[in-house]
Each structure stands twice: as structure tokens, then as C-alpha cells.
Amino acid sequence: MPIFEHKWLQWALWPLSLLYGGVMAVRNTAYDRGWLPSYSVDALVISIGNLSVGGTGKTPVTQFLSETLSRAGYRVGILSRGYGRQSRGSVLVSRGDGPLCSPLESGDEPYWLALRTRHVPVLVDEDRVRGATTLIREHSVQIILLDDGFQHRRLRRDFDLVLFDPQQYRRAPFLLPAGYFREPLRSLRRAHWLGNTGNELPSRAKRHFHGRVFRIQFEPVSVWEPLNQTRHSTDILKKARVIAVAGIAQPQRFFTMLERLEANILKKSAFRDHYKYTKTDWQTLQHQIRDFRADAIVTTAKDWMRLESLIQPDEGTVWVLDIGVQIEAEVVKTFVEEVRKRLA
């Protein structure tokens, strides 16, 4: 169980959540009233973000939108701060044809985007006004997708798309550190689109949000075997004896997905989000494959990026479960039309 979901701990941390909420309220008021400056750039800026910490699928949605808008004929760039990277300043992760640096230099999510997108430059910069200016000047982009940008107020945006997980809210509806949330629900008033990644929205969320609500689903689409560059249908997981490994914000979602695919999970290994695997971790997993007589280790695409440098081609079988984004076609069409109107 995540730390946020221990009820006794939630109440113990409640005073700190009040303090955190006060700081966020002052900060947001300062931007709303112009006491803190924000800057526009000569491109359409679309933020993909959330109210909570991790696990709502911002990065796959950023990839989906980059592909959608590129197909519509626009020059798109992706901008991120590069959370967890071991570098500073502006780093070009991709010109649109694959990674130019390692995950350590870029951060996990930008590297993943560089792997999965084509014809879309990916840049990381902790100063996102500077990063946006660089994408416009050096790559002539018309649209900038700001990955994990809702709390970033210094760069003005034309659209704020917020992903919301109702399950997170019901389990721990408090602000950090007592709950999952970086901002209160009233901050949804700043958003234009709300992507619901779960079931029914809480009534309080409906009360504060006045834009367009749509459903987003994340479904497994294939299984990739990176050590021999082979792709399989998800049927390969049915009855397969596997060790499940996940170092993401909500690993239980990954495990549940494997169970729905009828994988025979012999052991679940959950690590913290953005966990940096060591050679010892990989050796432990190899021992587990032998001890459990498993067919393979199954992990996420983000985890594979952090495991890849530790593994030799003959050191075992690794399967990566690829996840696809599903959004109703009419919603996507409407979104592209709104973008087109803004750029006309």
C-alpha cells in the first residue's frame, strides 16, 4: 500500500498539508494577479499535466498528441524539465529521429518520448521559457507540448489538458504530504480539457471544472522482446510464467494489467518511481528466473530504459508490455479543430 493510503499517517501529516496548501494558494494568486510574471512565446503551447503526483499517463498522452498533431500537418515539439536527469540547462534529446543522449542526461520520460516519436524534436530545460524559445528558433515548431506542465505557470499556454484519476482522489484526497495532490481541486478552473482516466468523477471535481471532459483509457497493445528485437501479440502472456517488475508511480496497475492478460505471475517486484536499477538488482532478477523457473521477466517501457545498460543479450528473456492510449475519435477531431482555429 502506498504511503498516502495509510489513514493514520494521512491525519498525522494533515498539518503539513495545510501549510503546503497555503504556499500553493499564495503562489497561484501571485500568478493570477500578475505579481509573478509569465511569458508568451511565438507558438501554440499545450500543457499536459495533472493535479497529483505521478501515474496518470501524461507521457503516453503527450506522445499520442504529438503523433496526432503531426499527422494534421503541424510542426510539433515536446518540452520537459527532465525530472531526475543528471544534467543541467538545455539538452536536445532528439531531433525527431531517435535519442541523442542517455536517460541519465535527459530523464526517463523525455528519453521514452525520443524513442517513440518521429519528426518531433524533444528538448529538456528547467527554464521552460528558454526551452520553448529554443524549440521555436532552432526547430521552427508551431506547437509546443509541455509534458507535466500544469503546475508550471511561468510559460503561458493556450490549452491546459489535465489528466485526473478518480481512484487516487478517493483513496487519498489530500494535498501533499498527506495525499496524492499537488494542488487542490479548485485549480481545475484553470484547465480547458479534463481527461478522466478512471470511473465517475468526484462531484467536487465537476463543480470546479468548466471545460470539456473526455475519457482516456490505457490498454496493452503488444509485447516487445528487446534483446532480439521481436514483437509479439499480448497472447504470449496467457499462462506464461513470469516475474513482473515495475518501478513506476502505480505498479499495481501494471500487475493488474498482466493478470487481466492471464499471465501466471510468480513474483511481483515493485520499486519506487524512477528507480535506478543496479547490477545487483539485475542479478537478483536472474536468480529469480532460475529459482521460479520463469519464462521471462515482464516490465514496463520506462523500466526497460533503466535496465537496458545492465543486461547482456544472452542473460535471459525480457518482455516489455507496450501500452496504447485510447481516446474517442470524435474527441480527437474536436481537439485538432480547436488547435486549427487558434493557429488560423
Q: What is the DSSP string of 22-90?
A: HHHHHHHHHHHTTSS--B--SSEEEEEEESBSS-S-HHHHHHHHHHHHHHTT--EEEEE--TT-S--S-
pLDDT in tens, 229-245: 899 999 999 999 999 99
How many CA atoms does the CB half-sphere of 150 hold within 13 Å? 27
pLDDT (0 to 100) of residue 256:
95
CA distance 333 to 337: 6
* Residue 56 pLDDT: 82
Q: What's the average model confidence in pLDDT over 281-306?
A: 94
What pLDDT shows up at residue 10? Answer: 82
Give Cα 137 distance to the centre of its chain. Answer: 27
Question: What is the structure's pLDDT at 87?
Answer: 94
Q: What is the dihedral of CA 182, 187, 188, 190, to 10 degrees?
A: -120
Phi/psi for 79 (5° steps) reads: -125, 130
pLDDT band at 4, cuts 50/70/90? low
Q: Are 94 and 123 in contact (CB under 8 A)?
A: no
pLDDT number for residue 161:
98
Choice among 50-64, 125-139, 150-164, 328-342 with the minimum mean pLDDT = 50-64
The answer on pLDDT for 2 being more than 80 is no
pLDDT of 208 reads 95
**pLDDT surpasses 60 at 1:** no
Express each pLDDT in 48-104 by its tens digit: 999 998 778 999 999 999 999 999 999 999 999 998 899 999 999 999 999 999 999
When pLDDT is cut at 50, 70 and 90, the band that residue 314 belongs to is confident
Q: In this predicted model, what pLDDT tens digit does every residue of 93-138 receive, in sequence order?
A: 999 999 999 999 999 999 999 999 999 999 999 999 999 999 999 9
**Once rounded to an integer, what is the mean pLDDT over residues 288-296?**
95
**Is the pLDDT at 260 greater than 80, yes or no?**
yes
* Domains of the chain and CATH, by start: 3-210 (no CATH), 218-325 (3.40.50)
Give dist(CA 52, CA 182) in Å, integer: 5
Cα gap 139→106, rounded to integer Å: 18
Residue 340 reports pLDDT greater than 80: yes
